[in-house]
Chain A
Amino acid sequence: MADDVIFDLLHSEIVAFLHRTTEKDNQDQCINKLESLGFRIGQSIVERFTKESPRFKDDLDIMKFICKEFWSAVFKKQVDNLRTNHQGVYVLQDNKFRFLTQMSSGKQYMEVAPKYLAMSCGVIRGALANIGINSVITAEVSAMPSCKFQIQLQRT
């Protein structure tokens, strides 16, 4: 079984690779690619995680699963805080997000942070989509290595 270190290095290298192979003025494309890589990973991983479990009751049941089991497995800890406006917006706060802990705090890192969060946003969105919830996810860093993910459910 692969070790954490090799996974973290692979993740950083994927970010760096897509950064250097996309044109400087087109970094949105880099973010989009990271997001779509993550989406495909999320689809697969959630299929594996929910293989033995009973069917979900409702959206809240699903969000609790994402914050606890899913987060612990993928990001190595549980979400620190989950809030919802009960109208389809959920805010998940992680005070020590896995892919930000290797970075130091400081302005220059704040600029690159979105790239280190894009794949994770995709993973969460892919997982949710596969268990039946379409969403828009944005991540926001106010102080390293803490991060807030806002998940807006899309009603169909």
Chain B
Amino acid sequence: MIKARGLTKTFKVHKKQPGFAGSLRSLFVRNWEEVHALKGVDLDVEAGEIVGLVGANGAGKTTLVKALAGIIHPTGGTAEVLGHVPWRRHNEFRRQIALIMGQKAQLWWDLPAADGFLLLRQIYQVPEARFRENLARLVDALQVSDKLNVQIRKLSLGERMKMELIAALLHQPQVVFLDEPTIGLDLSAQRAIREFILDYRKRENPAMILTSHYMEDIESLCQRIVLVRQGEKVYDGSTVKLVEMYARHKVLTAHLQVGESPPDGPPRPDRMAGEILEWNGTALKIKVERRDAAGVAAQLLGNYSVADLSIEEEDVGTVIESMLKSGPAT
């Protein structure tokens, strides 16, 4: 449903030297600098997929989303979304997509959400009966029926975001772009929105691209993850595989039997390979290189009487963080 090849986007920004003298100088002389927000990105997304687009601030996520939604013209490359070139902005294309930005409101500030929805019904030409049915279902799922007639500016951030989601999905889009939909929300609102997104996918089978800085969003919503760093794609594949391939460490947690004298004197976890995360005399949590994990486990089991032992992968967030810093582990 979404197919992009070699997308590039270059912005020209002028670079100002610091201080007032620099400002004065920039009035007459401008040093233009090219910023490469996207450097040849390929991306395919199929119906029913939720792809997590992850990267640091300024990595090019939002630029990619905006190019695919048809808001900005890329400098180079091609894209096809639902069979259309997005930035030509055919109405047929625009009728089938939706964009939700956590940082920008689409509903009008001074109007109650209900009025905004009516306007959207006209814009998208949703038949009356379908509109009622969709609205009732969406409002029910997000439990905001009592807030429909309250002006947007009087709603809490969480309620507003729920309204934004309803507004974006009323016309049953086949391609949905979610740019940080849970930003700034409390945990229960975040959870409600995640469940809602999953529910929408089950029902409509759309292609979705999600950007978020919250790893819970990515982990619970996306089977597939695309990492971008400085305008380039550095990973594209399943979330589970990402951890298998690139997690450098494992975390061993062991509970030692109290009372029994260890054969090798009191435990000295500091002698083992790895970084101690927690040690209070009985419970030990230690982060070790992946290849050392089995050895350290054997060492623990051999030298101490261990009541319980578990070996866990690093969580996705940690893996991603290290990859965004230094690139995929080799």
Please say whether chains A and B are actual partners in one complex. no
